[in-house]
Structure 1
Amino acid sequence: MKLWLTAAEIADLALPGLPATKRNINALAEQSGWADRKGLCRPRSRSGGGMEYHLDILPPQARQAYVARFVPQPVPVETAAAAEAEPAAASLRDDAAEARDARLAILTVADRIFNEAKLPRLHADLLCVADYEACRLPMPEWVRKQVPRLTLRSLQRWRAAKASGQTTRLAVDRGAARRGSGVLDQANDGQVRIFILALISRQPHLSADHVRELVIAKFGETLTVTRAGGIVKTVPVPPIRTIQVTLATWKVTEKVALTALTNPDAFKSRYKLAGSNTDTTVSRLNEVWQIDASPMDALCVDGRHSVYAAIDVYSRRMVLYVSRTPRAQAVGLLLRKALLAWGVPERIKTDNGSDFTAKASERLFLSLGIERELSPAFTPEAKAFVERAIGTFQRDLGPLLPGFIGHSVADRKVIEARKAFAQRLGETDADAFCVELTGVELQHYVDAWAENRYQHRPHSGLDGVTPYAAAAAYGGRLRRLEDERALDMLLAPVAGRDGIRTVGKQGLRIDGSLYLAPHIMPETQVFVRMDPNDLGRALLFSIEGGAFLGEALCPDILGVNPAEAVAQAKAAQKEMIDGANAAVRREARKIKPRDFADTILGRAAARSGNLVSFPRPSDTHTTPALQAARDAVEGPKPARSTEAPAVQALRREIEADILGEAPADNVQQLRRVETPQMRFRRALELEARIAAGEAVPTEEAVWLGGYQVGSEYRALADVYGEFGEAALK
């Protein structure tokens, strides 16, 4: 087995987690800094030059696969996988599973002898047994410890169990017969055991003496147990020593259940299945980020700081930001660093902290077009990647910093105990923990750790690939911000709590100061961001759509003469209003005072029938889509006039008059259109003729019937009945 390999040899091996071409191996070596790892990289001594890399420089998974090709496993991978897949395998104790694997390893050697020696199965098994007994077979020490003696019958029995898919029969649990048969396990049908476990869960610090007294108080001086054959016996409560041994045993065998009862947080972090994390299916760079915050495990001269972390789930890259206090502004500044370095993510997952759910944070996510996902309350496992990353950061960098206070209260007590109490008396935390760093210096160390150490270390979650290499190898497209200033504008603080203000006749009032905004109409609602570089300047945006409307200036803060500023603002507002109303004024000049009376009285006369209303010019509103839809429904039709024949004739005569054409004769009928009064008189005459029994033409009778059911007939009939002939003049 070669320990030093060239890039070409590594590529030819096609190891898991590594590229399969020499060019890509060289690129990975350069990205991961293999050349800087002394003792693991050397120039190639043979012709051709190049570099050779030691086996230990490869990622763990690749190194293990390479070694496995030369050192056979005691139990083949497929055999071990099949044994673990059996339903009964999940309940095996560790020592029982090891006994099973030892017997599977012996069966593997026996099968190898059978295949290589070309002997009958019985003769091959006899040879295997003899060699094993004589210690001539190269078996690991743990196998011989589990199986000190081997017989032909045992070997044949093991092979039959393996062939039937019952490898759990090869497991030997030497304590199974005795386990659960003690007095405290069986007493009173198991009620004593349940009671003692409840006592421990309620108060883990109870001694064996306390437990014994409580058991006697509840169950009495004697207990009942069931022996073999169903015989029930009465026995005294065991002594303190027996209870001590039993409690120690239960604290091991019932560790998971007791942890869930006594320390739910520890159970959640150590044993609870972390299957709720749905981000393991991420397949793209910047598809999902997770962000969280944690108090720094080191003090600064200006107090304890919090560290905000953002991690890209696909590549495991991490960006960190140090903040004096947890707040929404820190979330924005963390995202600024990550956005400028990595691009824009599709989705960000956070917890329900007030800094992540604040209006400023929600507004920032919405403005950037980033989907925000909230993890369920009290479920840190839902964002396990960032939780694990913060833990790695605290454990790796924290102890290196001056001012380190430990990862827990217990750690802090240990650090404080390094000095005698007399030495610690009167010391402040800064003295006790050697605090030297400022928040700015801490940020420098944090950035250096993330960029130079963390991202260039192999990551087990990436099959040994570094976060830097995982991100560099991604070939997809990314979304990036074009203008850094636009991002800074979105991060600018808002006025007040929600940033919404209404422009008044004096301007905007922000934090007790008056800001002039002459270019915006009064009574307009705006969204206000404060210029982070100039307190006297406010940036105004529309409520709907977020369009930039301009600036508002505070003369008092800017040091400008307030009278001059107000005068200029009034002039600017007048110019704006005049410009906006110019078109209205031009149209108003076209309207004459008498137009109101002429129009209103003309409409009244038209309704009364004493005035013929001439058609006014109009334009038909249409669009290509409307015309196409109309053609599809009705088909194209020739345009036709909607004017009445009498109106058309009158219009033609007026047009001829304008053009100077002489009429056919100089006598014209005064009324060219039948008025309502004339139609009503005609109806009266027809009714009189019908009442007198005279014959009436059919078309006249039909007209009369239709006219009588109309509103005009009914209205004039009422008036005629009231005023007689005077109503028809």
Structure 2
Amino acid sequence: MKDWLTAREIAIEALPDMPADESGVWRVAQREGWNGSSLARKRPGRGGATEYHVSLLPTLAQVAYQQRHIVIELPVKLPKASPETSLSARALEERDARLAIVAAFEKFSRGMQLGYATRVQVFTDKYNAGSLNIEPWALEIIPSLSKRSLARWQSQKRDGKVNALAHDPAQARKGTGVLETAEAGAVRAFMLALIAQQPHLSGHHVRTLCRSEFGDTLKVLSKGVETVIEMPPVRTFQHALKGLKESHKVELLKLTNPDRYRSHMAPAGVGMLRHITEPNQLWQIDASPVDALCTDGRHSVYACIDIATRRSVWLLSRTPRASAVALLIRKAILEWGVPDVIKTDNGSDFVAKDTSRLFLSLGIEAETSDAYSPEQKGHVERVIKTFQHDMATLLPGFVGHSVSDRKAIESRKSFSQRLGETEAEVFGVTLTGPQLQKHVDDWASTIYQHRPHAGLKGATPFAAALASTKPVRKVEQRALDLLLMPVAGDSGQRIVTKRGVRIGGDYYQTATIMPGTAVFVRMDPNDAGRAYAFAQDGAEFLGDAICPNLAGIHPETFHRAAKEIRADLVNEQARDLKADMKRLAKGKPLIERALEVARRDAPNVIPLPKREEPHTTAQIDAAIAALSEQLNPTQPLDAAAAAAHRRLIDDMRAEEEAELVASTDAILMQRRAEIEAERTAHLPANVVALPETAMERYRRALLFRDRMNTGELSAPDAMWLGGYVMSAEFKAQSVIHEDFGDAYLS
């Protein structure tokens, strides 16, 4: 619909309240002042006639023009819908029809000088009367229009709730069926459990089992009223089962076919390994039976894939075992280098002690996926599938990828033709295991690695590996072969005795390893009489261990040679030790060295004399009497004499203590006089010194204590300090010093 018209075009329309000729329209434009408004413009191009916007026309003319030319159709640019809502096809059509009507009304209202209510009334009347140009698909969905509906749709569009305009009558009735609401939903839950446990149940079977569970009648709630109805017919159950299987297909598939759910519907983890960009950054390994037979039976194929380049290495093995994993890793390392991480599943061959020990020795980080989660190593799963469907299909002896494939291959021959034939003859088996290994290696090197790969953006594994500039970590083949050797027993840990290392009932003798040493032992698979002894962590080679009986050497000759080597080794190690022992014997005795150290450690403290008191018992008195008898045997002492003697001894001890106290007091008095003289020495003769204060005595005590810690305190000062620290004055000064800190001393 054109919004700008010339005077001639307006006259041709013959609109109400407008002249039907061009000159009449010019006069109306002059009279109403249209030419001077912003709604009048010159038509671009040749001629340059004046155009007028339709909003300048009278109301009736605008309505007639809109009715004649407006078309209800889907707008070119739809409003953005909410992405989280899933809508049916019918709901989408309903939404688009309502959006088309709202867009037509907005275009109809543009520039019209009428109130909103009048515009809505005019638009809905024209719509219901069929006066508007409406596309058939929209008219079929919405045959009539009300003012209330139009206002509601406008509001929902304005608020961005576009999906709220969608409406599907079938979805609205969903979940209201008889069997879905019967017995408060118990019938529906029972039916779901039945088809989850046995997906092949028919509608007749489910109806019979529901009669067994709920009886011949069902309670149904309809519009708030509970009614009792007879068990619906089989056809109703068939429709209900179809709806349940469709609406719960994901849950039912997970319960009935977990493998199909995991491969088709479980999260695939797209892009989880995008950080793996360099060769040998991550490998994945796995194994699977080959879908082809060999003359020596069916083999398993071990696959190793480098995630960054998609290169692959393959190894055939009759049975899954850790040695096959080790040989696969050896083959890949010699071809590509040492990887950073290898990811496997939890199979016994991948988590065996030998495999873990090999990873540890090579400095490879081992990573295992969760149990029953093949999607966590999807790259190696996918390359094995490619191998089975691309190469195994071409092999003689191909038995198919499934039981049905195998039956189809067998059916190529009639039963009479197969009668008496072996399995190898039925499937045309001609290859041996080594021949199949060569074909697998050739396929990987000539076909697979030169095939464009979608995960490499169209590049080939060969080109991806060639483009990398990352250095390749290489291992010497001989060292790698030694690390692949089997260990002694389960753990390889042994203790060297004087007879050597015991392995399987035989003793392997080593002259260079001292008895009592714990070693880690690897066996040489090509020489039963030789073993290799390492430190317990395998990081240091200690020497060979030889079993004379298995190595074909005379035991006596070997023992004599080993004894000579051991003697030379021990003598060499003991030579310096003997010299040190002689030098030690010529020096000071050990007891003198110990006493000298003890004297250096003893504290420089003079112990003060302790106050003594006599202690006596009947036995002590008897001993004193015996000593007195020895001094004067001709004059035995009676009890009174003994008591007098004891008093004499006590008096002597008291005198000694008094003399000691007097001497101590004299020393203290002398030291106090010296301290007082030192304190007043700098004063003039006519100045009288004040008595020493408690603060000065406390400072002197701290000074003496520091000297005592350094061993510079004299005996008189130590005696004075010992008596002062027990006084109440020192304790009071210490409390004040602790509260105010060193500022108290300044």
Whether these two folds match at TM > 0.5 is yes
1:599 corresponds, among 581, 586, 589, to 589
Structure 2, unpaired ranges of 5+? 1-75, 101-131, 601-655, 675-712, 722-746
When the two structures are superposed, what TM-score results if normalisation uses the length of structure 2? 0.59
Q: Determine the C-alpha separation between the residues in 2 that align with 1:436 and 1:98.
A: 61
Give the direction of change, closer, same or farther, for the CA distance of 1:151–1:244 in structure 2 (3 Å limit): closer
Q: CA deviation at 1:494?
A: 1.2
Q: Determine the C-alpha separation between the residues in 2 that align with 1:208 and 1:296.
A: 42
1:486 corresponds, among 476, 479, 487, to 479
One-letter amino acid of the structure 1 residue matched with residue 663 of structure 2:
I
State the match for 1:511 in structure 2: 504
Q: CA deviation at 1:147?
A: 11
State the match for 1:539 in structure 2: 532
Give the direction of change, closer, same or farther, for the CA distance of 1:551–1:151 in structure 2 (3 Å limit): same
1:339 corresponds, among 333, 338, 353, to 333
8 Å contact 1:375–1:382 — kept in the other structure?
A: yes
State the match for 1:298 in structure 2: 292
8 Å contact 1:301–1:436 — kept in the other structure?
A: yes
Q: Determine the C-alpha separation between the residues in 2 that align with 1:604 and 1:385.
A: 72
One-letter amino acid of the structure 1 residue matched with residue 342 of structure 2:
I
Q: CA deviation at 1:446?
A: 1.9
8 Å contact 2:519–2:533 — kept in the other structure?
A: yes
State the match for 1:523 in structure 2: 516
Matched position secondary structure for 2:293: strand
8 Å contact 2:305–2:312 — kept in the other structure?
A: yes
State the match for 1:400 in structure 2: 394
State the match for 2:548 in structure 1: 555
Q: Determine the C-alpha separation between the residues in 2 that align with 1:216 and 1:577.
A: 93
8 Å contact 1:277–1:382 — kept in the other structure?
A: no
Q: CA deviation at 1:429?
A: 3.4
Q: CA deviation at 1:542?
A: 0.9
8 Å contact 1:513–1:554 — kept in the other structure?
A: yes
Residue 189 (structure 2) pairs with residue 194 (structure 1): yes
Q: Determine the C-alpha separation between the residues in 1 that align with 2:317 and 2:350.
A: 14
Give the direction of change, closer, same or farther, for the CA distance of 1:601–1:349 in structure 2 (3 Å limit): closer
Q: Determine the C-alpha separation between the residues in 2 that align with 1:504 and 1:369.
A: 31
State the match for 1:376 in structure 2: 370
Give the direction of change, closer, same or farther, for the CA distance of 1:338–1:540 in structure 2 (3 Å limit): same
1:219 corresponds, among 205, 214, 221, to 214
The 5 A counterparts of 1:1-20 are none
8 Å contact 1:328–1:361 — kept in the other structure?
A: yes
State the match for 1:184 in structure 2: 179
Q: Determine the C-alpha separation between the residues in 1 that align with 2:462 and 2:159.
A: 48
Q: Determine the C-alpha separation between the residues in 2 that align with 1:207 and 1:261.
A: 18
Give the direction of change, closer, same or farther, for the CA distance of 1:463–1:601 in structure 2 (3 Å limit): closer
What do residues 616-655 of structure 1 show as CA deviations (whole Å, max 9, x unaligned)?
Answer: xxxxxxxxxxxxxxxxxxxxxxxxxxxxxxxxxxxxxxxx
1:499 corresponds, among 492, 496, 499, to 492
State the match for 1:116 in structure 2: none
Matched position secondary structure for 1:294: strand
Give the direction of change, closer, same or farther, for the CA distance of 1:254–1:150 in structure 2 (3 Å limit): closer
8 Å contact 1:343–1:478 — kept in the other structure?
A: no
Give the direction of change, closer, same or farther, for the CA distance of 1:430–1:579 in structure 2 (3 Å limit): same
One-letter amino acid of the structure 2 residue matched with residue 509 of structure 1:
R
8 Å contact 1:276–1:382 — kept in the other structure?
A: no
Q: Determine the C-alpha separation between the residues in 1 that align with 2:719 and 2:535.
A: 61
Q: Determine the C-alpha separation between the residues in 2 that align with 1:363 and 1:388.
A: 28
Q: Determine the C-alpha separation between the residues in 1 that align with 2:594 and 2:227.
A: 117
State the match for 2:450 in structure 1: 456
1:289 corresponds, among 283, 295, 298, to 283
Q: Determine the C-alpha separation between the residues in 2 that align with 1:272 and 1:328.
A: 31
Give the direction of change, closer, same or farther, for the CA distance of 1:366–1:586 in structure 2 (3 Å limit): same
Q: Determine the C-alpha separation between the residues in 2 that align with 1:299 and 1:99.
A: 57
State the match for 1:325 in structure 2: 319
Q: Determine the C-alpha separation between the residues in 2 that align with 1:152 and 1:216.
A: 45
Q: Determine the C-alpha separation between the residues in 1 that align with 2:277 and 2:248.
A: 40
8 Å contact 2:668–2:720 — kept in the other structure?
A: no
Q: Determine the C-alpha separation between the residues in 1 that align with 2:302 and 2:327.
A: 10
Matched position secondary structure for 1:273: coil
Matched position secondary structure for 2:350: helix
Kindly name which structure, 1 or 2, has the bigger radius of gyration based on alpha carbons: 2
Matched position secondary structure for 2:452: coil
Give the direction of change, closer, same or farther, for the CA distance of 1:418–1:176 in structure 2 (3 Å limit): farther
2:83 corresponds, among 82, 86, 101, to 86
2:563 corresponds, among 567, 570, 583, to 570
Between 398-407 and 494-503, report the one with greater CA deviation. Answer: 398-407
Aligned length: 517
Q: CA deviation at 1:528?
A: 0.9
What do residues 85-105 of structure 1 show as CA deviations (whole Å, max 9, x unaligned)?
Answer: 7221xx245x669979999xx
Q: Determine the C-alpha separation between the residues in 1 that align with 2:537 and 2:314.
A: 34
Matched position secondary structure for 1:552: strand
Give the direction of change, closer, same or farther, for the CA distance of 1:709–1:488 in structure 2 (3 Å limit): farther
8 Å contact 1:100–1:168 — kept in the other structure?
A: no
Q: CA deviation at 1:497?
A: 0.8
Q: CA deviation at 1:551?
A: 1.3
State the match for 1:446 in structure 2: 440
Q: CA deviation at 1:234?
A: 4.7
8 Å contact 2:178–2:220 — kept in the other structure?
A: yes
Q: Determine the C-alpha separation between the residues in 2 that align with 1:269 and 1:81.
A: 37
Q: Determine the C-alpha separation between the residues in 2 that align with 1:79 and 1:485.
A: 71
Q: CA deviation at 1:541?
A: 1.0
State the match for 2:686 in structure 1: none
Q: CA deviation at 1:300?
A: 2.3
Give the direction of change, closer, same or farther, for the CA distance of 1:183–1:462 in structure 2 (3 Å limit): farther
One-letter amino acid of the structure 2 residue matched with residue 546 of structure 1:
A
What do residues 440-480 of structure 1 show as CA deviations (whole Å, max 9, x unaligned)?
Answer: 222222222222222222222333332223333334x2341
Q: Determine the C-alpha separation between the residues in 2 that align with 1:211 and 1:188.
A: 16
Residue 594 (structure 2) pairs with residue 582 (structure 1): no
Q: CA deviation at 1:527?
A: 0.9
8 Å contact 1:277–1:381 — kept in the other structure?
A: no
Give the direction of change, closer, same or farther, for the CA distance of 1:412–1:403 in structure 2 (3 Å limit): same
When the two structures are superposed, what TM-score results if normalisation uses the length of structure 1? 0.61
Q: Determine the C-alpha separation between the residues in 2 that align with 1:255 and 1:242.
A: 19
Matched position secondary structure for 2:300: strand
Q: Determine the C-alpha separation between the residues in 2 that align with 1:481 and 1:473.
A: 18
Structure 1, unpaired ranges of 5+? 1-77, 107-128, 134-145, 614-682, 711-729
Q: CA deviation at 1:198?
A: 0.8
One-letter amino acid of the structure 2 residue matched with residue 279 of structure 1:
L
8 Å contact 1:284–1:314 — kept in the other structure?
A: yes
One-letter amino acid of the structure 1 residue matched with residue 405 of structure 2:
D
Between 170-179 and 194-203, report the one with greater CA deviation. Answer: 170-179
Q: CA deviation at 1:322?
A: 1.5
Q: Determine the C-alpha separation between the residues in 2 that align with 1:704 and 1:347.
A: 76
Between 693-702 and 301-310, report the one with greater CA deviation. Answer: 693-702
8 Å contact 2:289–2:300 — kept in the other structure?
A: yes
8 Å contact 1:100–1:167 — kept in the other structure?
A: no
Matched position secondary structure for 1:395: helix
What do residues 523-553 of structure 1 show as CA deviations (whole Å, max 9, x unaligned)?
Answer: 1111111223322221111114611112112
Q: Determine the C-alpha separation between the residues in 2 that align with 1:318 and 1:359.
A: 25
Q: CA deviation at 1:521?
A: 0.8
Q: Determine the C-alpha separation between the residues in 2 that align with 1:452 and 1:206.
A: 51
Percent identical: 46
Considering Cα pairs closer than 8 Å and 6+ residues apart, tell me whether 1 or 2 has the greater RCO. 1
State the match for 1:38 in structure 2: none
